[in-house]
A and B are shown apart, each in its own frame.
Chain A
Amino acid sequence: AGLEPSPPARLRGRPLQCPRPAELLLLLSCPAFRAHFERLFGDAEGEQWRFASVAPDDEGSEDDEEDQLRALGWFALLRVQPGPGAAAERGPAVAVAVASPGAVPKGAPLLACGSPFGAFCPDIFLNTLSRGVLSNAAGPLLLTDARCLPGSEGGGVFAARPAGTLVALVAAPLCWKAREWVGLTLLCAAAPLIRAARAALGRLRPSEAALAAFLPPELGTPRALPFRSPEPSWAAAAVLVECGAVWGSGVAVAPRLVLTCRHVAPREASRVLVRCDAPKTVAVWGRVLFATQETSPYDVAVVSLEEALDGIAMPVPTERFSEGEAVSVVAYGVFGQACGPSVTSGILSAVVQVDDTPVMLQTTCAVHGGSSGGPLFSPRSGRLLGIVASNTRDNTTGATYPHLNFSIPITLLQPALQRYGETGDLGGFRELDHAAEPVRVVWRLQRPLEPPRSKL
C-alpha cells in the first residue's frame, strides 16, 4: 500500500511497448561470482548480512531468505516472441556491447538502469537511472555505490566510457550488515554471464544453439582496451590499519607515515599492522607515534612504519575546499582485508568553519564501519581533503546513515605533518588536544553556544 502513488502531476509521457510474451531459454550462474560471494559473504549469518528480498513478501521465513540467497547469483536468458512487425524491425540485431572482465577500473563512473519495484507502474519507473562508481571488485563480483532499489535486480550497469558498454547486472540492490544499511549495490559482471550463455546454448537444440551468434561481443581485452584508464593513483594511498582486535582504514602521507583515527589506533607506542593493496599487497609493522586524547574533538592518530611503503604516490594535500565539489572516499570499510579498499563517490556537502577555519567536512559518500581513517579525495584534482572520522547514527532509533559522514580537514593536520617531517617534533599534533570549545561543540553535533544574555 505504501507504494500507491498519488495521481501524478506529470507522467514521464513515454509510450511503452506492449508486454511481449517470452520463453525461458536458460538459467545461468557464474561460478566465480558464487565463489567470491561465498568468500565475502559466506559467513552471512555470523556477519548478519541481509540482501534485498526478491520475493513479494519482505517478512518471509528463514527458508525464503535462504532460497533468495541461493538465487542471488542466478540470471536468466529469455527469448522474446517476435511481434507482428518483427520482420520490419530495423537497426542492428545486437543491442549492446559488453565490457571485458577487469576492463573498468575501481572508481570509474557507472550508470545503473533498472526498474524499481519491477513491473509496478513501468510507465513511471521503467529504466530509472542512477549514477555512481565502481566501488570494489572481487573477480566478477562487483560493487557500486549507484543507488538501486528492489525490483532493479537484473538491471544493467553501464560504463560512461565508452558510453553504454554493459559492465554488469544488478544481483542485489540493497544489503545490510549487522542491521546497518550498506549503501552499496551488489553486481555480477556481464561478460562471464554472456560467456556462460554462449557455452550453454551450444548444448541445447540446434535452433537454440544458433542464438549464440546474437549474443553481444566483449569489447576488447583488458590489456588492449582503448578506453581503459588507469586506476587513480590517489586511491593507492589508502591502507588498512590493524591494532589488536580493532581495524580501520588510514592514509599514507609519507613513505613511513600513516594517518588514521584514534579509535582505530588509540594507544601511543602500541604496535599496528598496516596493509596496502596497490601497487602490490604488502603488510608493514608500525607503532602509534601519536593519538589525540579522548577529550580532543579530533579523532586522529599517527603511525610510524618500520619499513617504507614503496611505489605509492603520496597524496598532495589540498589548501581549500569547495562545497558541492565531487569527492571520493577510499577505505576498507565493510570488507576489511577480504576485498581491498572500496571507493565511494559523492559531493562535499558541507564545510563547517570556526573562525573562518574549516574544522569539519561532510560528504554524501557512503561510509561504513571500518572506513574510519580512510582518505577523502577530490577525484578531479587527486588532492587529499581529509580523513574520515565517522558516519552518523541516530541513537534514538539506532539507524545508521552512511551517506552523512564527517571528516577531519587535512588543512588542520598539514602544519603538524610538515613540522614533524622537518623536525621530528610532534608538538603540532599535540595542539589538536587543545581545540577551542566552539570546535568541540561542532564535533559533539551541538548547537553553537549563544553569548549569555543580559537579564537586565
Chain B
Amino acid sequence: MGRQWGLAMRAAEQVGCVVSASRAKQPEAGSWSCSGVILSRNPGLVLCHGGIFLPFLRAGSEALAAAEAVFLPGDSCGDDLRLHVQWAPTAADSNGRADEGRPGLCTPQC
C-alpha cells in the first residue's frame, strides 16, 4: 500500500490547483477561491467547485435552485468575472522553459 500511496500522492499533486474569482472592475471587492482538478493540460480544462461563482450569477442563486438544471452556460455569470488558476509545476514543466528566468515572479503576497 505504501507504494500505492506514493503514486496516488504524485498523481494528485500533479492535477491539484487553486481557482480564484474576482471582479474586473472592483478588485477591491475581494476574491473568492476554491480548489480544483486539472482534467486536461492541453487544452487546459479544470473542474472546480461552483460556490465561488455565486456572487457573479446574473440571475442570482435562484439559477442554481431549479430542480431540472443540469448545467448553466458560462455566460450565466457577469462579464466582469475574472478567473485565475494556479498550480504546481509538473516535472515536465520544471525541466522546461516556461518559468526559466522568472524565479519569484509568482510568489503571492499573503
Chain A residues with a Cβ under 8 A of chain B: 4-5, 14-29, 31, 34, 54-56, 66-68, 70-72, 74-86, 88-96, 109, 111, 113-115, 118-123, 126-127, 129, 131, 151-156, 158-161, 163-164, 166, 169-171, 190, 193-194, 196-197, 199-200, 204, 211, 214-216
Residue numbers in A under 8 Å from B43 (CB-CB): 79-80, 82, 93, 211, 214
Bound: A16/B42 CA distance, A: 18
User: Pick the contact of B39 from A86, A91, A94 — CB < 8 Å?
Assistant: A94
CB pairs A–B below 8 angstroms (16 shown): A15-B99, A17-B99, A18-B105, A21-B83, A22-B85, A27-B77, A67-B54, A74-B53, A89-B92, A95-B14, A95-B40, A129-B9, A152-B35, A153-B51, A154-B37, A200-B71
**Mask: chain B, 61-97; 1 = CB below 8 Å from A; 0 = not:** 1001101111111101100011111111110111011
A72 to B49 alpha-carbon distance, docked (Å): 8
Chain B neighbourhood of A156, CB < 8 A: 12, 15-16, 35, 37
Are A166 and B37 in contact, with the CB atoms below 8 A? yes
In the assembled complex, which residues on chain A have CB atoms less than 8 Å from the CB atom of B105? Answer: 18
- Extra 4 A-B pairs, beta carbons < 8 Å, given A109-B1, A115-B17: A27-B50, A54-B52, A154-B37, A163-B11
> Are B99 and A88 closer than 8 Å at their CB atoms?
no
Residue from the list A23, A90, A200 in contact with B83, Cβ < 8 A:
A23
Which listed residue (B33, B48, B69) contacts A75, Cβ 8 A? B48
**Cα-based distance from A154 to B32 in the complex (angstroms):** 13
A211 to B45, Cβ gap below 8 A?
A: yes
Interface residue B107 (Cβ < 8 Å from any Cβ of A)? yes
Which residues of chain A have C-beta atoms less than 8 A from B67's C-beta? 31, 34
Q: Evaluate whether A24 and B53 lie within 8 angstroms (CB atoms) in the complex, with A19-B85, A71-B61 already known.
A: yes
Q: Is the CB–CB distance between B34 and A153 below 8 Å?
A: yes
Which A residues touch B88, using CB under 8 A? 14, 16-17, 126-127
Most chain B CB inside 10 Å of its own CB: which residue of A19, A76, A166, A194? A76
| Residues B85 and A153 in contact, CB atoms below 8 Å apart | no
- CA of A203 to CA of B7, assembled, Å: 36
B32 / chain A contacts, CB cutoff of 8 Å:
54-56, 118
Partner of B49 from A15, A154, A194 at Cβ < 8 Å: A154
Q: Is the CB of B40 within 8 A of A214?
A: yes
A226 and B108 CA atoms in complex are apart in Å by 43
How distant is the Cα of A4 from the Cα of B68 in the complex, in angstroms? 42
Smallest CB-CB A-B distances: 5 pairs: A164-B11, A118-B33, A80-B44, A74-B50, A163-B7
Chain A residue numbers with a CB within 8 Å of B41 are 89, 91-93, 95
Q: Is B10 an interface residue (CB 8 A)?
A: yes
Known: A122-B18, A215-B45. A17 touches B8 (CB 8 A): no
The listed residue (A15, A113, A211) touching B13 by CB distance below 8 A is A113
User: Would A20 and B34 count as touching, CB distance under 8 A?
Assistant: no
CB contacts (< 8 Å) of B5 on chain A: these are 109, 111, 131, 160, 163
> Is there a chain A Cβ closer than 8 Å to B30's Cβ?
yes
In the bound assembly, the distance between CA atoms of A152 and B64 in angstroms comes to 21
Q: State in angstroms the CA–CA spacing of A28 and B72 once bound together.
A: 7
Q: Is the CB of B73 within 8 A of A74?
A: no
A26 to B75, CA, bound (A): 8
Q: How far is the CB of A223 from chain B (nearest CB, A)?
A: 22
* Interface presence of B26 (CB below 8 A): no
A95 to B67, CA, bound (A): 32
Contact A71 B50 (CB under 8 A): yes
- Please indicate the chain A residues that have their CB under 8 angstroms from the CB of B27 in the complex: none
Question: Are B8 and A5 neighbours in the complex by a CB distance under 8 Å?
Answer: no
Q: Given the complex of chains A and B, what is the CA–CA distance between A56 and B94 in angstroms?
A: 33
Kindly report which residue of chain A lies nearest to residue B76, judged by CB atoms. A27
Residues of B near A199 (CB, < 8 A) are 70-71
Which among A31, A80, A155 is the interface contact of B37 at CB below 8 angstroms?
A: A155
Write out the residue numbers on chain B whose beta carbons fall within 8 Å of the beta carbon of A211.
43, 45
